[in-house]
Amino acid sequence: SPAPTLSVFKYPVGISDIDFRRLLEKRRVVVAPALGELKGHYFRMGHMGSLTEEELFVALKRIMEVLEKMGLRFDKGKILKTFVES
């Protein structure tokens, strides 16, 4: 069954796992590589303990910054609106 303390995200095509994690770590957000056959295609993000909405929002913004720096284009406003409304 799914773990309530961990989420797994699939990389968009063309995004390098190692580069993504290095750039994100420079922004003080640490994620882990996926394991086994998913390695290089997904990343894992833990959310144990009492994380605030603000902490999650900052992590999301930094993930978007890195993806944008790596050349991915997307509607940031729509993503942030969905986060705030959920």
- Model pLDDT for residues 63-86, shown as the tens digit of each residue: 999 999 999 999 999 999 999 898
Q: For residue range 35-60, list pLDDT tens digits in order.
A: 999 999 999 998 877 888 899 999 99
C-alpha 27 chain-centroid distance: 12
Domain boundaries of the chain, sorted by first residue: 6-85
Which CATH number does 6-85 carry?
3.90.1150.10
DSSP secondary-structure letter at 36?
G
Model confidence at 2: pLDDT above 70: no
DSSP secondary-structure letter at 12?
P
Q: Residue 14 and residue 70: Cα distance in Å, rounded?
A: 9
Q: Residue-wise over 16-43: b if at least 16 C-beta within 10 A, else e? A: ebeebbebbeeeebebeebeeeeeeebb
Beta-bridged to residue 45, according to DSSP, are: 7
